[in-house]
Amino acid sequence: MRWMASRRSRTRLSSFLLVALLSIAATCGNSSGPPDDGDAGPPAQNAVTAPLLPTHVAELPSFDVQTYQELLTQMRGTPVVVNVWAAWCGPCQAEAPLLHSASQTYGERVQFLGVDILDSLDGARGFISEQGITYPSVFDPSGAIRDSLGMIGQPVTVFYDADGHVASTWEGQLSQGALDQGIHAAMSA
């Protein structure tokens, strides 16, 4: 009888592990770009008008990887610059003025989106206010979005072309030249 209970437990555990692994595989299956999902809604003209984002940039809605992918789908039609940052990150603070200036320069021709990771909401909102950032950011306290991009650390900047494909990435603090090259790659793809 003891052997039967033990075998039943092992069978249940094996079933549970199989379901868990299949769930993980389904989640991680395609992290190279936004999914081709026709149900994500019409493309937004810019990140501020994307249906998944609030109208005020300091609201910082919590996003997971799936919601991030849905947002990228909504933003197709225009190149997108995604910057992964944290308020406590020195290089993130140093590059913020470059990103803000570029977002003002390119206007609606290029969309900008911040992904705040491993941070507190108060710290992130303070950072947005201090830096005068006018483009939206989303809140990812676990860093799962950055991890799904295959990156380590922050800042990280990903440049998507208008079709939603990664045109270029930059790990670490952006220079003006790296930002210009990434935007050019996204716009010319």
What distance, in Å, lies between the first and last C-alpha atoms of the chain?
66
Q: How far apart are CA 65 and CA 58, in angstroms?
A: 20
Lowest-confidence range among 52-61, 92-101, 102-111? 52-61
User: Does the pLDDT of residue 8 top 70, yes or no?
Assistant: no
Say yes or no to pLDDT of 38 above 50. Answer: no
Q: Are 88 and 98 a contacting pair, CB within 8 Å?
A: no
Per-residue pLDDT band at 189 (split at 50, 70, 90): confident
- What percentage of the chain has pLDDT greater than the value 90? 66
- The pLDDT value given to residue 96: 97
Q: Calculate mean pLDDT across residues 172-176.
A: 97
Residue 40 in this model has a pLDDT that exceeds 50? no
72 within 8 A of 80, measured Cβ to Cβ: yes
pLDDT at 76 over 80: yes
Task: Report whether 170 contacts 157 (CB < 8 A).
Answer: yes
Supply the pTM of this predicted model. 0.73
- Please name the helix (run of DSSP H) or strand (run of DSSP E) that holds residue 170, with its range, or none: strand 166-171
Interval 151-167 mean pLDDT: 96
Among residues 166, 114, 113, 115, the alpha carbon closest in space to that of 143 is found at: 115
Q: In the prediction, which pLDDT does 58 show?
A: 65
Q: Which two tokens stand for residue 130?
A: 């201090």
pLDDT tier, 112 (very low <50, low <70, confident <90, very high otherwise) = very high
